[in-house]
Chains A and B, each alone.
Chain A
Amino acid sequence: MTPIYPFRRTCKEVSALLIAREDRELPLSDRLALRLHMAICQACPRFERQLLTMRNAMKQWRNYAGADETPGNEKA
C-alpha cells in the first residue's frame, strides 16, 4: 500500500502557495504543509525571500508615490 502524505507538497505547489499568501489567507492545512516543506527545502526559502523583497519594494515605491520625496539618495 502506498502511504499517503496529506501534507506533502512539491516546490511548485509551495511556490504557488507562497504567491497566494500575498493576497489571501491560506487555509490551516496549507499553512501547515508550507511550514513542513520550508523546514526541509533548500530552494523554496530563496523564492520566499524574493517575494519578500518584492513586497518591500512595492511598499517603498508606494510610499514614495505619495510623498514629496523620492527614494534613493542617488540622483539619476
Chain B
Amino acid sequence: MHHHSAFEYEQQLVALRDYLMRFARLQLRNDTWAEDAVSETLLAALAKPQAFEARSQLKTWLVGILKHKIIDILRQRQREVVLDGASDDDRVDPLDHMAFKTDGHFAEKPAEWGNPERDMQSRQFFQVLEACTEKLPPAQGRLFLMREWLELSSEEICKELSLTPTNLYVQLHRARLRLRECLELNWFARTP
C-alpha cells in the first residue's frame, strides 16, 4: 500500500477514523476521551507521513500510535478510570454464579466448549466476544483490556493507575468470569 500524494495519505487516514474509534471506545469507555485519543493519533500521523513511508500496514502503525495515546489518557484520568462501575457488582463474586455445591466442589462439570479452533474462524464469534467485553462494567472493562489489548503486565497497570494489586486482581477476576459467562450464554451454548 503506497500513497501517491499528501492528499491520498490524508484520505486514507480519515477513512480509518471509525475503525480506530471502535477500539478507543472499547478501551476507554468514554466517548470524549476516545475522540481525543483518535484525534491525537491522526494528528501525529499527519505530522509525519515520512514515518509511515517504510511501513506496509497503515492500520497496524496507527493502532500502535493509538495505544500510546490511550495509555497517556488512562494515566491522566486514573482516578475516573478505576472509580466508576463500583456498584452493586462489587458485592457479588461471579464465581457464585457457577454451580458449586456447599462443600466447594462442582455440582456439575463445566461445559465442553466444543470446537474452539472452528469458532475462531468465524467472524461472528469475534463480534460476540467484542459485545461481551463491551458489556463489562466500565472500570472492569478498562482493566481487562489493559491486560488483553494493551498487553500491559499487572505490575504496569498498578503503576500507571496507582492501583493496589489486590484491587486490580479482584476486578480482573470478575471481568474474566463475566466474560466467560457471557461467551457461554451467547456463543458456546448456542453452537452445536
Contacts and interface: CB of A to CB of B under 8 A. Distances in A.
Contact of B149 (A43, A56, A65): A65
B151 A49 contact: no
A74 B121 CA distance: 7
A67 B123 contact: no
Nearest to B124: A76
Contacts of B113: 49-50, 53
A23 B121 contact: no
B63 to A, nearest CB: 4
A47 B123 CA distance: 24
Interface stretch (B31-39, B45-53, B126-134): B126-134
A76 B123 contact: yes
B180 A54 contact: yes
B154 A49 contact: no
B148 A64 contact: no
A12 B104 contact: yes
Interface residues of A, number: 39
Interface in A1-58: 10-13, 15-16, 19-20, 22-24, 42-44, 46-47, 49-51, 53-54, 56-58
B23 interface: yes
A19 to B, nearest CB: 5
A53 B60 CA distance: 25
What is the predominant secondary structure among interface residues of chain B facing chain A?
A: helix
Contacts of B100: 10-12
A40 to B, nearest CB: 11
Nearest to B172: A23
Interface string B94-129: 010010100111101111110010011111111101
A19 B170 CA distance: 10
Given A57-B125, A58-B148, A43 B95 contact: no
Contacts of B106: 11, 43-44
A46 B109 contact: yes
Nearest to B184: A50
B87 interface: no
3 nearest A-B residue pairs (beta carbon): A10-B104, A72-B123, A43-B106
Interface of B: 23, 57-60, 63-64, 95, 98, 100, 103-106, 108-113, 116, 119-127, 129-130, 147-149, 151, 154, 165, 168-169, 172-173, 176-177, 179-180, 183-184
